[in-house]
C-alpha cells in the first residue's frame, strides 16, 4: 500500500461527477418492445426534419432526474471519509459509481488502488449452498482469489461465529448468522480502498460493536475508507472528515464534527410536515403508500416542540388493496442515530386498543396518530422512521428519516438545576425519600 503513496498523494480523485436518470424510466425501468417500435417508426420523420434543418426538440428537462450534480473531491491515502445526507441526496449513487456498478453521466473519477465494496452484504449468497461454499462464492464475487479466501477462511468463520454450522445450507441460518457471515467475508478482503454503505445497520448490538471494531482496525492500518451511514454517532467516531450531500450536490466538506453539525442544522428549518403528493413517488408498495407525516404540538403543525407538551405524530397513508390489514409503527431516533424507542398500534402495545387494528382496510386514505407524552423526550433533535405493516409481519412502507423535529427547553425541570440533563429521554419519575433509621453511634 505504502509503495503506492509515491505514485500519487490521492487514493480517489473525483471531478465534476454527475448522474442523471430519465424520470419516466425510473417509474418503469425497462422499455417494452412496443416503446422502441413506436420510437423507430417516428425515426424517418425526425431524420427528414433534421435534413431540412429542423432542430431536434430539446429533451424534456422536467423528465430528467439528477441523482448527482457536479460533485468533486479528493481523498488522500489513509483518510476515513464519511458521506452524509438525507435519503435521496445521492450518497448511494456516488458509492455505486465509485464501485463501478453504474456509470456516471458526466465527469470523471480516478481510483488509485484495489477497491473493496461492502454494499449491502449478502447479495451473492445462495440459500441452498452451505456456509463454506458461500464463503468461496462471495469471495469470488468480490474479486478475491481462491488462495486469498483459503488463507483467510478460519478467520472469516471465527469472526462470523458460525463454526458449527459451516457445512449447513445458509437457508437454515438465522438472519443474524447470515448477515454476520456475509459481512465477515467482505471485511476480510484485502483492498486499498474500502467503500462501505450502511452495513452497521445489521445484526445485534454485540455484532455491530464488532463490525465497528473491525472498521476502526481497518482505518488504523492506513487503508482509505469511504463510509456512508445514517448513524451519525458511528460516523463521528470513525471518520476524520465528512462530505455532506444534498439533492445530489456537495454542500459541505471538512472535519467531521463541523459537517455533522451543519447537517443537523439543515434539519431544523423544516416545517414539521412532509407530504408526498402522488402515490407513485411516495415510499411504499402496491399495497400501501405513505401520504404524509406531520408533527403536531399544541394543536399546530410544527417541527419545534416544547419539552412540556405532548407530541402528536400523524401518519397518513394510502391503502391501495382493499382487505389488507394494516398497522402503523414508528422508530424514534436521536440526532446521533441512537434508537430511542419503537412503537406500534398493536393492541398490546398501545394504551387503548386502536379501533382499526386487525380490521380489513377498504381502499383509501388513513390517518394514524401516535401521542408521545409531555416531559418525556430530552431536548435536542429527533428523527422518525415510519413503517406501515400488513398483517403485522410484512413491511409495506419503510420511510427512514421520514421527518425530524426538535424538542426545546421551556424551563420545565429547571427550577433547581440548570445544567445538562444527560440521556436520550428526560422523563419525570416518581421519587420518594424516607427516613430509614438512626445514625449509628460512633
Per the CB < 8 A criterion, the answer to whether 357 and 327 are in contact is: yes
Which grid cell is 49?
Answer: 426534419
Nearer to other proteins among residue 111 and residue 256 (C-beta): 111
What are the E-state strand segments in 96-206?
106-111, 115-119, 193-197
Considering only residues 39, 46, 60, 143, which one is a binding residue for other proteins as defined by CB under 8 A?
A: 143
Q: Between 13 and 408, name the residue whose CB sits nearer to other proteins.
A: 13
Task: Please pick, from the candidates 46, 50, 54, 100, the single residue that binds other proteins as defined by CB under 8 A.
Answer: 100
Under a CB-based contact definition with an 8 Å cutoff, are residues 307 and 379 in contact? Answer: yes
- Applying CB under 8 A, among 140, 268, 275, 425 the residue interacting with other proteins is 140
Between 165 and 318, whose beta carbon lies closer to other proteins?
Answer: 165
Given the C-alpha cell 488509485, which residue does it identify?
A: 112
Interface region with other proteins, contact rule CB under 8 A, candidates 121-129, 296-304, 355-363, 374-382: 121-129
The residue range among 46-54, 133-141, 232-240, 265-273 that interacts with other proteins, by the rule CB under 8 A, is 133-141
Q: Which stretch binds other proteins (CB under 8 A): 75-83, 139-147, 172-180, 251-259?
A: 139-147
How near is the Cβ of 137 to other proteins at its closest, in Å?
Answer: 5
Binding-site member from 142, 162, 238, 290 for other proteins (CB under 8 A): 142
Choices 42-50, 136-144, 154-162, 315-323 (CB under 8 A): range interacting with other proteins: 136-144
Query: Residue 333 in contact with residue 384, Cβ under 8 Å?
Result: yes
Do the strands 339-344 and 64-76 form a parallel or antiparallel pair, or are they unpaired? unpaired
- Give the number of other CB atoms < 10 A from CB of residue 43: 9
As a whole number of angstroms, the distance between CA 402 and CA 244 comes to: 18
Alpha-carbon distance values, 131 to 139, 184, 186, 429 (Å)? 12, 12, 14, 49
Contact predicate 15/107, CB 8 Å: yes
Max alpha carbon distance in the chain (Å)? Answer: 113
Query: Which region, judged by CB under 8 A, interacts with other proteins, from 58-66, 119-127, 159-167, 223-231?
Result: 119-127
Residues in contact with other proteins by CB under 8 A are 8, 21, 25, 29-33, 36, 96-112, 115, 117, 119-120, 123-124, 126, 128-129, 133, 136-137, 140-143, 145-146
Amino acid at each position: 500500500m505504502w509503495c503506492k503513496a509515491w505514485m500519487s498523494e490521492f487514493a480517489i480523485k473525483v471531478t465534476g461527477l454527475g448522474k442523471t436518470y430519465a424520470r419516466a424510466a425510473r417509474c418503469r425501468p425497462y422499455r417494452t418492445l412496443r416503446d422502441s417500435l413506436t420510437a423507430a417508426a417516428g425515426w424517418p420523420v425526425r431524420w427528414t426534419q433534421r435534413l431540412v434543418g429542423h432542430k431536434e426538440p430539446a429533451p424534456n428537462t422536467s423528465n430528467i432526474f439528477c441523482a448527482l450534480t457536479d460533485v468533486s473531491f479528493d481523498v488522500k491515502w489513509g483518510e476515513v471519509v464519511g458521506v452524509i445526507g438525507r435519503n435521496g441526496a445521492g450518497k448511494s449513487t456516488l458509492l455505486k459509481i465509485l464501485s463501478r456498478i453504474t456509470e456516471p453521466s458526466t465527469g470523471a473519477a480516478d481510483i488509485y488502488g484495489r477497491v473493496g465494496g461492502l454494499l449491502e452484504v449478502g447479495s451473492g449468497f445462495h440459500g441452498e449452498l452451505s456456509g463454506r461454499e458461500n464463503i468461496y462464492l462471495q469471495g469470488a464475487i468480490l474479486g478475491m482469489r481462491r488462495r486469498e479466501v483459503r488463507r483467510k477462511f478460519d478467520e472469516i468463520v471465527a469472526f462470523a461465529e458460525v463454526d458449527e454450522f459451516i457445512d449447513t445450507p445458509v437457508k437454515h441460518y438465522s438472519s443474524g448468522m447470515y448477515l454476520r457471515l456475509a459481512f465477515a467475508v467482505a471485511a476480510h478482503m484485502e483492498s486499498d480502498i474500502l467503500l462501505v454503505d450502511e452495513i452497521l445497520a445489521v445484526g445485534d448490538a454485540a455484532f455491530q460493536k464488532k463490525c465497528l471494531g473491525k472498521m476502526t482496525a481497518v482505518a488504523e492500518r492506513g487503508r482509505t475508507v469511504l463510509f456512508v451511514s445514517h448513524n451519525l454517532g458511528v460516523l463521528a467516531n470513525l471518520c476524520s472528515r465528512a462530505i455532506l450531500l444534498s439533492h445530489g450536490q456537495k454542500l459541505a466538506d471538512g472535519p467531521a464534527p463541523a459537517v455533522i453539525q451543519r447537517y443537523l442544522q439543515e434539519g431544523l428549518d423544516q416545517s414539521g410536515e412532509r407530504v408526498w403528493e402522488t402515490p407513485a413517488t411516495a415510499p411504499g408498495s402496491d399495497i400501501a403508500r405513505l401520504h404524509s407525516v406531520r408533527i403536531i404540538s399544541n394543536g399546530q403543525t410544527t417541527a419545534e416542540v416544547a419539552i412540556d407538551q405532548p407530541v402528536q405524530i400523524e401518519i397518513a397513508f394510502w391503502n391501495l388493496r382493499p382487505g389488507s390489514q394494516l398497522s402503523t409503527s414508528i422508530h424514534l431516533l436521536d440526532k446521533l442515530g441512537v434508537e430511542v424507542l419503537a412503537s406500534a398500534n398493536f393492541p398490546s402495545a398501545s394504551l387503548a386498543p386502536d379501533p382499526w387494528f386487525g380490521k380489513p382496510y377498504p381502499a383509501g386514505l388513513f390517518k394514524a396518530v401516535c401521542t408521545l407524552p409531555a416531559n418525556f423526550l430530552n431536548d435536542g433533535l429527533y428523527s422518525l422512521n415510519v413503517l406501515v405493516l400488513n398483517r403485522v409481519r410484512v413491511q409495506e412502507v419503510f420511510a427512514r428519516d421520514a421527518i425530524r423535529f426538535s424538542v426545546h427547553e421551556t424551563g420545565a425541570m429547571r427550577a433547581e438545576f440548570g445544567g445538562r440533563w444527560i440521556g436520550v429521554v428526560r422523563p419525570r419519575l416518581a421519587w420518594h425519600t424516607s427516613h430509614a433509621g438512626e445514625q449509628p453511634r460512633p
